[in-house]
């Protein structure tokens, strides 16, 4: 049931980055809790798309009660798209801009109940007849009570009613018409499974569905009761992460996670280190940013490195009490209380690890020290070392990976354009062995998509499109005067790395390099060389040039399908350099 984008049936251990990355799937999503729509759109373009995230779970977009507390979003009063994250137009723009860079939107759908009012919601409209009549406290030993009584006073919808099902379906179909790709069904445990299926049967298209069902021993309603409809949240996973990454048991005991009795099969499970509820309600038992020992990052390293479930990264804001709402400033600044955990290098880069190892859904070359150190491979596609001990780990491991030098993506970032690593590297020998040095309470990870010295240009974009969308850029006519055209000459040649900054573009428009030699189009925009948007709005690319030539060039925007459309020249004079002088030409708009 997983919405694994561009999933490939097999992945060969090829010798080039392009070969292993051309069809790289997207296999992990993020919850940007309480973010505004405009900030999410920008985050898709600048972070989530380039890092390979599959989707964003957004906070409920429907109109809700007034209040600053986070939970007011979970007390809807109508199905209109309005609230503190933005209006309908901003929501629609966000969906389009995220989709343009390969990132889907999942809506947190509140369909079990309406606000704790008097069973009268004229904007829908709902009246008393559209709600269940049980207002007593829920008896969690009784299935009927769980699914027909008010949850902490919230007016429980009569979801078995055809009228109610259609109203809910109309809301979800409206969101789908705007491009929404999936839904999290909040409080699904409190809705009979057959009612959710009835709503699903009224939906247009085939949106991805996952359902919040908190399993508890001895209760008559369990997560497995809902897996025939769609994926289900696996709360055993978050509870287990809390226990072991708080060092309440030896980490090695999670080496068979997901196989224990009562757990959902991997193909049905959505997993997470924490969610917006339990990180506030069970902080003492759930891993959050408040934990020491690097625990939050390391728990995410495990989740994204271990082949179980569809992982969701929690990205929240700091809080001092349970009810505290989001900061008043925009989230994209990642300041003033916004945490942006999904941008942490350890977490963001492990999304790429999961994507590049998805073709081998199993663990190979496993090792542990009998306590809090673990290491495992993913069929020669990647290798992880996790050290939760209080001392360093230095050891040689059999990784099963091809020979080469790899970027340690926990300690540095891999530049897919230049093939360079900003941090430490790990060398795998011809037998697949590698020496790892991992600090205490730290980790190390390598994968085939981050091999040093093997840059990827056009055929291994993580994005599903070749152009970044979103940022508006006004077209301007202009030309760049040339001091002469230098043709391609015989003799030596050299790959030259070009960079253009601030290349904000609209959908279908991209950034190019144009210049005074044939390889750069001889100032003809139609023949310019397109750059890669992996670091959007920074664009990069390698272009092969004749060596020892005086080069004049500029950054240029134009439409991909219409060379005369959307043309925007870099302002100012031409840029100059001599090819082969160890210069990486850089400029911008």
Question: For this structure, is 212 an active site residue?
Answer: yes
* CB of 97 closer than 8 Å to CB of 48: no
Catalytic residue selected from 38, 39, 108, 186? 186
Catalytic residue selected from 34, 195, 212, 291? 212
Specify the pairing of strand 382-387 against strand 442-447. antiparallel
* CB of 384 closer than 8 Å to CB of 83: no
Question: For this structure, is 45 an active site residue?
Answer: no
| Cβ-based neighbours of 330, under 8 Å, separated by 6 or more | 36, 38, 39
Going by the DSSP 8-state scheme, the letter that residue 6 receives in this structure is: T
| Cβ-based neighbours of 453, under 8 Å, separated by 6 or more | 405, 419
Element holding 550 (H helix, E strand): strand 550-559
3-state SS string for 443-499: EEEEECCCECCCCCCCCCCCCCCCCCCCCCCCCCCCCCCCCCCECCCCCCEEEEEEE
Nearest to 251 by CA among 344, 95, 369: 369
Going by the DSSP 8-state scheme, the letter that residue 203 receives in this structure is: -
Nearest to 42 by CA among 540, 470, 500, 495: 470
Question: In b/e form, how buried is each residue of 405-436, taking b as 16+ CB within 10 angstroms?
Answer: ebbbbbbbbbbbbbbbbeeebbebeeebebeb
**Rounded Cα distance, 579 and 267, in Å:** 52
Task: Quickly count: other Cβ atoms within 10 Å of residue 92's Cβ.
Answer: 18
**Rounded Cα distance, 476 and 485, in Å:** 24
Three-state SS for 517? strand
* CB of 320 closer than 8 Å to CB of 25: no
| Cβ-based neighbours of 131, under 8 Å, separated by 6 or more | 114, 119, 155, 156, 157, 158
The Cα-based distances of 334 to 296, 318, 410, 496 in angstroms read: 17, 11, 20, 34
Structure tokens at 155: 């007016």
The Cα-based distances of 48 to 104, 331, 419 in angstroms read: 10, 14, 20
Residues in the chain: 589
3-state SS string for 350-393: HHHHHHHHCCCCCCEEEEECCCCEEEEECCCCEEEEEECCCCCE
Sheet holding 586-588, edge to edge: 532-535, 538-546, 493-501, 586-588
3-state SS string for 125-186: CECHHHECCECCCCCCCCHHHHHHECECCEEEECCCCHHHHHHHHHHHHHHHHCCCCEEEEC
Catalytic amino acids?
A: 186, 212
């Amino acid at each position: 049931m997983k919405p694994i984008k561009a999933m490939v049936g097999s992945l060969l251990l090829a010798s080039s980055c392009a070969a292993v990355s051309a069809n790289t799937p997207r296999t992990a999503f993020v919850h940007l809790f309480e973010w505004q729509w405009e900030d999410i759109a920008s985050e898709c373009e600048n972070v989530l798309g380039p890092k390979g995230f599959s989707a964003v779970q957004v906070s409920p977009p429907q109109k809700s009660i007034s209040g600053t507390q986070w939970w007011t979003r979970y007390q809807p009063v109508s199905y209109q798209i309005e609230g503190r994250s933005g209006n309908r137009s901003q929501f629609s723009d966000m969906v389009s801009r995220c989709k343009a860079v390969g990132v889907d939107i999942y809506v947190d759908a509140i369909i079990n109940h309406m606000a704790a009012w008097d069973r009268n919601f004229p904007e829908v409209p709902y009246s008393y007849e559209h709600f269940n009549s049980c207002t007593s406290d829920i008896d969690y030993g009784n299935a009927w009570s769980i699914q027909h009584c008010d949850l902490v006073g919230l007016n429980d919808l009569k979801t078995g009613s055809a009228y109610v099902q259609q109203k809910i379906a109309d809301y979800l179909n409206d969101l789908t018409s705007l491009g929404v790709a999936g839904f999290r069904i909040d409080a699904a445990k409190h809705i009979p499974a057959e009612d959710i299926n009835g709503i699903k049967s009224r939906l247009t298209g085939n949106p991805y569905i996952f359902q919040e069902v908190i399993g508890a021993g001895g209760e008559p309603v369990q997560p497995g009761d809902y897996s025939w409809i769609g994926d289900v949240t696996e709360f055993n996973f978050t509870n287990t992460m809390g226990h072991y990454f708080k060092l309440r048991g030896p980490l090695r005991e999670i080496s068979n996670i997901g196989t224990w009795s009562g757990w959902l099969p991997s193909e049905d499970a959505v997993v997470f280190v924490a969610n917006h509820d339990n990180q506030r309600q069970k902080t003492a038992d759930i891993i959050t940013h408040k934990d020491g020992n690097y625990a939050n990052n390391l728990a995410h390293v495990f989740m994204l490195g271990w082949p179980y479930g569809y992982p969701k990264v929690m990205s929240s804001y700091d809080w001092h009490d349970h009810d505290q709402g989001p900061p008043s400033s925009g989230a994209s600044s990642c300041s003033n209380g916004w945490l942006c955990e999904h941008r942490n290098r350890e977490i963001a880069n492990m999304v790429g690890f999961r994507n590049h190892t998805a073709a081998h859904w199993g663990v190979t070359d496993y090792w542990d020290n009998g306590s809090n150190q673990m290491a495992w491979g993913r069929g020669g596609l990647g290798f992880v070392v996790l050290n939760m001990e209080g001392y360093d780990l230095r050891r040689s491991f059999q990784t099963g990976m091809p020979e080469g030098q790899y970027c340690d993506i926990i300690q540095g970032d891999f530049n897919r354009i230049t093939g360079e690593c900003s941090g430490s590297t790990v060398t795998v020998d011809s037998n697949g062995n590698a020496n790892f040095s991992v600090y205490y309470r730290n980790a190390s990870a390598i994968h085939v998509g981050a091999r040093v010295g093997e840059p990827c240009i056009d055929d291994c974009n993580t994005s599903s499109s070749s152009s970044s969308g979103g940022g508006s850029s006004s077209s301007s006519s202009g030309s760049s005067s040339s001091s002469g055209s230098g043709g391609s000459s015989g003799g030596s040649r050299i790959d030259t790395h070009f960079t253009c900054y601030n290349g904000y573009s609209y959908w279908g428009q991209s950034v190019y390099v144009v210049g005074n030699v044939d390889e750069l189009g001889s100032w003809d925009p139609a023949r310019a060389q397109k750059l890669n948007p992996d670091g959007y709005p920074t664009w990069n690319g390698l272009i092969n040039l004749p060596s020892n030539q005086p080069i004049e060039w500029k950054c240029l925007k134009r439409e991909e399908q219409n060379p005369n459309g959307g043309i925007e020249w870099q302002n100012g004079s031409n840029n100059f350099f001599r090819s082969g002088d160890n210069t990486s030409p850089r400029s911008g708009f």
